[in-house]
Amino acid sequence: MKLQNKKLRSRTGFWLLIVAAVALESIACLQYFYSRAAIKEEAVHRAQAELRAAELEINVATAKLEAAANVLSKMAESGLDNPQSAYTSTRKLLEMLDNVESAGVAFVADYYPEYGRWYEVCSSRTGLEGEAAIYTRQIGSAEHDYLQAEWFHNGLTIDSAWWSEPYLDDSGAQTMVVSCSCPIKDKQGKVVAVACIDMSLKYLKNVSEYLQVYKDSYYSIRSSQGIDIVARPDTTPGRKYMIFNEEIDATGWHLSIIIPEDVLFADLNRVGLLVSLLMLLSLALLVFIMYRSAVNLHSLISVNNQKERMEGELEIARTIQNAMLPKVFPPFADRLDLNVYGMVLPAKEIGGDLYDFYVRHDKLFFCVGDVSGKGVPASLVMATIRSLFRSTTAHAEDPAVITGEMNNTLADQNEQNMFVTLFVGVLDLESGMLEYCNAGHNAPVLGNRMIDVLPNLPIGVLSGFEYTKQCIQMHYGETLFLYTDGLTEAENGVHEQYGEQRMLDILSASAIRRPREIVEAMTAGVKAFVGDAPQSDDLTMLAIRYQQPAILMRNDIQQIPTLAEWVEWLQLPAELSMSVNLALEEAVVNVMEYAYPGRNDGKVFVEYVKVNEEDGQRLVFTISDSGVPFDPTKRADADITLSAEDRPIGGLGIFLVKQLMDEVRYERCEEENILTLVKKIE
């Protein structure tokens, strides 16, 4: 009986061991396939992230080259009367751009009869002897008949930037390149030449090299016609690969990553075999403990790797996003008629809000937008919108046309059904006329009132939608304030929204004048209102002040404080600001007292000009009025050695002005008194 019991226990223990071994082996198999799926998913996410980053970088590079081609086109158009100007423009452009291999301007046949049938000026980084320097020359000839080239033909017929297929440029860059061509028009609008920018395939190869995310992985770039830009190496027959592709929006090129599966799962295979052997040879309890430890360790490593990867991706996206936004304020140091300040406060590490602005042809092009959604997808759309804004405004000035082109481009490629509310404005800095187009965005505020906006669709919703332009006159001293709904819809702890009225109250505060002060005051107001409640949406603000380097005052002593504000706005050196302000106040008060006796309807106009000279600078202030003729400089200087009782009344103010300024002169011109004050700076 005992023997039978022992045999029974042995048999039971054996079967328990077999069951435990099978169970543990089954668990090991499940772990293996789960880990394989997790590694494959991680590889997919990593490859896609790298592809998106590379796509974004190449999009930015191609957008810059398209902009450069447009710039070269405009430079060439301005110099059509001088055949030699093409030498200067192509060389100057090449000096400014590092990733451009060559730049050229090619004219239609016999455009300059004195140069013959062919006239193409090209600047490249490699000369005829192969030296590494910028080499500029005329390369058009019967041997190099660019008139038959595809890039030249398409540049003449396509009224926008056009990208070529890869080819060997043996006359200009002397290497494999892709070209971006733009038409050049004369004053009658006729296309007479083509501007061409060449990008070396070596640059694109360098951009794509960091896509080798695993050992023995391959990468390639192909054109829209299937021509290799960065060639894909031959794969090994019988070896399995994972292939990831991404299309570059701007050019239609295709990026690919090819990863061998045996490389991807090599570590997993080795670990799986070792774990299986240990489980078969070890006690059930020990195997169980080791198994649990392995599972926990695997989970921890997976979480840490995912966290690090996400942080790395977010850091790349944040860096790229911040680089696209204007960050230098004031942005236009040479323009006294314009003051701009903007900021973005993302709700997460990166956001989908954007603003942008720049000046071209005495016009300020600007936009503020809000991408639907948040995080990485919204940031990628934001980068695309910013690039579209720059590329579109490079050749268009009508805000409705700009918005329409951006909408069509986004809608045609909008597989994720994301949309963008956008406000696009073009401010003529000479006339103050503001033309704008609103695509479903919040109405901006001009001064302390909201301007009228039409309910156009957000961009990206419907291709071909006809947007409507509106216009409004801006006057000197007015500020346009633009924002996203992250401002008015900011919520406090009890879910009360900040609202438009609180925003308008801050904008109506008389103490706030400069754009930076407006944005900072609005930020402080929102933070005080929200308190400790988490930020629920991205917040973007942009303030644009249209101003003048002059001031017009009524004949009223109460206007003098505005003169001090104007002097402060001029941002003169600290050591001069106080003395200049004092001198101007004395001079203006003197004019108000004597130019308009017994009247209060006169005007006093003060202008400011800074003149650069060889020995320094001169600050010139001109005070003009249409009152009775009066020359304050002819009054005798006050004798300050006398006591106040013995000193005659008057003359002290103009005496102080003469002491504070280097020159004081008067003239009567066309029924106006003109008093000029000059301060020299060495």
Q: What mean pLDDT value characterizes the chain?
A: 81
**pLDDT computed for residue 37 by the predictor:** 77
Burial-class residue 518 by CB neighbours within 10 Å (0-12, 13-18, 19+).
buried
432 or 10: which leads in pLDDT: 432
DSSP state of 292: H
Half-sphere exposure of residue 406, counting CA atoms within 13 Å on the CB side?
A: 37
Q: How far is CA 599 from the centre of its chain?
A: 53
143 or 55: which leads in pLDDT: 143
Average pLDDT, stretch 110-115?
A: 90
Amino acid, res. 516: R
207 or 398: which leads in pLDDT: 398
Q: Strands across the sheet with 603-613, in order?
A: 550-554, 603-613, 616-625, 672-681, 663-669
Report the share of the chain in percent with pLDDT over 70: 81
pTM greater than 0.85: no
Report the share of the chain in percent with pLDDT over 90: 26
Helix runs in 328-473, H state only: 375-393, 399-412
**pLDDT computed for residue 675 by the predictor:** 92
| Three-class SS state of 341 | strand
Average pLDDT, stretch 186-214?
A: 78
Q: What is the distance between the alpha carbons of residues 129 and 131, in angstroms, rounded to a whole number?
A: 6
Domains of the chain and CATH, by start:
2-41+265-313 (no CATH), 42-264+314-320 (3.30.450.20), 325-546 (3.60.40.10), 550-681 (3.30.565.10)
**pLDDT computed for residue 450 by the predictor:** 94
Sorting pLDDT into bands at 50, 70 and 90, what band is 454? very high
Is the bond leading into 330 cis (omega within 30 degrees of zero)?
Answer: yes
Alpha carbon distances (Å) from 90 to 108, 118, 164, 180, 360: 17, 17, 19, 14, 20
Q: Looking at the predicted structure, is the pLDDT value of residue 291 above 50?
A: yes
577 or 293: which leads in pLDDT: 577
Average pLDDT, stretch 464-470?
A: 94
Sorting pLDDT into bands at 50, 70 and 90, what band is 459? very high
Burial-class residue 122 by CB neighbours within 10 Å (0-12, 13-18, 19+).
buried
Q: What is the distance between the alpha carbons of residues 604 and 590, in angstroms, rounded to a whole number?
A: 11
Sorting pLDDT into bands at 50, 70 and 90, what band is 6? very low
Question: Tokens 């994720």 appear where?
Answer: 416
Q: Which residues on adjacent β-strands are paired with residue 363?
A: 360, 428
**pLDDT computed for residue 333 by the predictor:** 61
**pLDDT computed for residue 480 by the predictor:** 95
Taking the CB of residue 644, how many other CB atoms lie within 10 A of it? 7
- Region of residue 663 (phi > 0: left; psi between -120 and 50: alpha; otherwise: beta): beta
Answer for the pair 442, 499: CB distance below 8 angstroms, yes or no: no
Average pLDDT, stretch 40-50?
A: 72
**pLDDT computed for residue 2 by the predictor:** 45
Answer for the pair 539, 345: CB distance below 8 angstroms, yes or no: yes
**pLDDT computed for residue 471 by the predictor:** 96
78 or 209: which leads in pLDDT: 78
CA dihedral 210, 213, 215, 221 (to 10 degrees): -60
- Supply 490's token pair: 């900011």
**pLDDT computed for residue 418 by the predictor:** 85
Answer for the pair 53, 316: CB distance below 8 angstroms, yes or no: yes
Question: 268, 91, 270, 274: which is closest to 172 by C-alpha?
Answer: 91
**pLDDT computed for residue 646 by the predictor:** 44
Average pLDDT, stretch 399-428?
A: 91
Q: Looking at the predicted structure, is the pLDDT value of residue 155 above 70?
A: yes
> Of the ranges 329-333, 351-355, 538-542, 667-671, which one carries the lowest mean pLDDT score?
329-333
**pLDDT computed for residue 611 by the predictor:** 73
Sorting pLDDT into bands at 50, 70 and 90, what band is 21? low
Digit-coded pLDDT (tens) for 382-397: 888 999 999 999 999 9
Digit-coded pLDDT (tens) for 76-89: 889 899 989 889 88
Longest Cα–Cα distance in the chain: 142
Q: What are the φ/ψ torsions at residue 111 (nearest 5 degrees)?
A: -65, -40
Amino acid, res. 295: V
| Three-class SS state of 612 | strand
Which of 62-71, 207-216, 358-367, 627-636 ranks highest by mean pLDDT? 358-367
- Region of residue 295 (phi > 0: left; psi between -120 and 50: alpha; otherwise: beta): alpha
**pLDDT computed for residue 282 by the predictor:** 63
Average pLDDT, stretch 637-661?
A: 63
Average pLDDT, stretch 242-271?
A: 73
Sorting pLDDT into bands at 50, 70 and 90, what band is 644? very low
Alpha carbon distances (Å) from 429 to 335, 359, 473, 534: 10, 9, 11, 40
Average pLDDT, stretch 471-497?
A: 90
Q: What is the distance between the alpha carbons of residues 604 and 625, in angstroms, rounded to a whole number?
A: 5
DSSP string, 69-106: HHHHHHHHHHTTT-TTHHHHHHHHHHHH-TT--EEEEE
- Supply 402's token pair: 């700009």
Answer for the pair 671, 627: CB distance below 8 angstroms, yes or no: no
Q: What is the distance between the alpha carbons of residues 647 and 673, in angstroms, rounded to a whole number?
A: 28
**CB crowding 366-384: b at 16 or more within 10 Å, else e:** bbbbbbbebbbebbbbbbb
**pLDDT computed for residue 637 by the predictor:** 64
Answer for the pair 77, 185: CB distance below 8 angstroms, yes or no: yes
- Supply 107's token pair: 């004219």
Q: What is the distance between the alpha carbons of residues 25 and 282, in angstroms, rounded to a whole number?
A: 12
